[in-house]
Chain A
Amino acid sequence: MNITHILFWFLSVLAVFSALMVITSKNPVHSVLWLIVTFFAISGHYILLNAQFLAIVNIIVYAGAIMVLFLFVIMLMNLNKSTEPIKHRWLQWAGAIAGLCLMLVLVAALKDTEIKGQAALVNSGDIGLIKNLGRELFTTYVVPFEISSILFLSAMVGAAVIGKKE
């Protein structure tokens, strides 16, 4: 049980626990804060897998930009008191049981795959560094990269048009 295993289990338990807190918190602001904890745990997993570029982008884009946007909208709507009406008890149970059944089916289907014996390389390997990813992004994937800029432009226009008071 070396330091890598300890970090893996700590980050996994933290991610699952904070994800559970996201869906059980009554207050939406608490849900957002727990989701930020989940994203930091997932970023820790990326660092453990030596995918440093994705870890930093995950923190900047998700924990930085997207979660601030969520928090901003929640504050704007004054939702920070728990005013959400509760679903019927049996509907909640049905949702939980359906999700658990999906999890059971996926685990049962994937626990004996042919890649079972393989391992993910932790702590080493330089494919996750910005040098390699940047070269690949601007040679092989340059067309999807440019198309994503058009997607951002249209999303920006769309958000402005939808949010406009008519």
Chain B
Amino acid sequence: MPINYYIFLSIALFAIGIVGVLTRRNAIIIFMCIELMLNAVNLMLVAFSKMHHLAKAGTVATAGTDGQLFVFFIMVVAAAEVSVGLAIIVMMYRNIHSVDVNFLNRLKH
């Protein structure tokens, strides 16, 4: 499969995530769009890893392993990030009884 297809698919998913972050006001939906962007990057890394494996298959047997391990570490960090982020959103809901990010403008004044 040509690598260009994977690049364009990842760009499309990443741009959809960006549009979601910019147009929605619900903090949980914004958080989900960030997860979507992380997954777009993961897909790109796996595709590049397989591309590298194909290019170096004759000389190095395990070429491209690093890309897949980076994806594994991104998943680890994303899991930790989600637990802390959802705790922050729950605390925000408890204090202002809403998850609308436009209420969080105290730094503006």
Name the distance in Å between A79's Cβ and chain B's nearest Cβ. Answer: 7
Evaluate contact between B29 and A133: CB separation under 8 angstroms. no
Evaluate contact between B28 and A155: CB separation under 8 angstroms. no
Most chain B CB neighbours (cut-off 10 Å) among A76, A91, A119, A151: A119
Where chain B touches its partner, the secondary structure class is: helix
Name the distance in Å between B17's Cβ and chain A's nearest Cβ. Answer: 7
- For the complex, what is the distance from the CA of A8 to the CA of B64, rounded to whole Å? 21
Evaluate contact between B23 and A23: CB separation under 8 angstroms. yes
Name the distance in Å between A14's Cβ and chain B's nearest Cβ. Answer: 11
Q: Which of A144-166 contact B (CB under 8 A)?
A: 144, 148, 151-152, 155-156, 158-160, 162-163
Evaluate contact between A133 and B89: CB separation under 8 angstroms. no
Q: Which of B79-107 contact A (CB under 8 A)?
A: 79-84, 86-91, 93, 99-100, 102
Say which residue of A4, A116, A128 sits within 8 Å of B4 (CB atoms).
A116
- For the complex, what is the distance from the CA of A98 to the CA of B15, rounded to whole Å? 9
Residues 108-137 of chain A: 1 if any B CB is under 8 Å from the residue's CB, otherwise 0?
001100011111111001011000110011
Listed in ascending order, the chain B residues whose CB lies under 8 Å from chain A are 1-9, 11-20, 22-26, 28-29, 31-33, 35-36, 39, 42-43, 46-51, 53-55, 57, 62-66, 68-69, 71-73, 75-84, 86-91, 93, 99-100, 102
A-B residue pairs, 10 tightest by C-beta: A95-B22, A99-B19, A103-B15, A23-B20, A155-B80, A95-B23, A121-B54, A162-B87, A159-B87, A120-B50
Listed in ascending order, the chain A residues whose CB lies under 8 Å from chain B are 4-5, 8, 12, 15-16, 19-20, 22-23, 28, 31-32, 35, 38-39, 42, 45-46, 48-51, 53-54, 57-58, 61-62, 65-66, 69-70, 73-74, 76-77, 79, 84-87, 91-92, 94-96, 98-100, 102-103, 106-107, 110-111, 115-122, 125, 127-128, 132-133, 136-137, 141, 144, 148, 151-152, 155-156, 158-160, 162-163
User: What would 15 more interface pairs be, CB under 8 Å, given A32-B32, A103-B15?
Assistant: A5-B1, A19-B36, A22-B16, A28-B29, A46-B46, A58-B39, A61-B75, A70-B32, A85-B25, A95-B19, A96-B23, A103-B12, A107-B8, A151-B76, A156-B83
22 intermolecular pairs with C-beta atoms under 8 Å apart: A5-B1, A16-B13, A38-B36, A45-B46, A54-B72, A65-B79, A69-B83, A70-B31, A70-B86, A73-B89, A87-B25, A92-B23, A110-B11, A120-B6, A120-B50, A120-B51, A127-B68, A133-B72, A136-B69, A151-B77, A156-B83, A163-B90
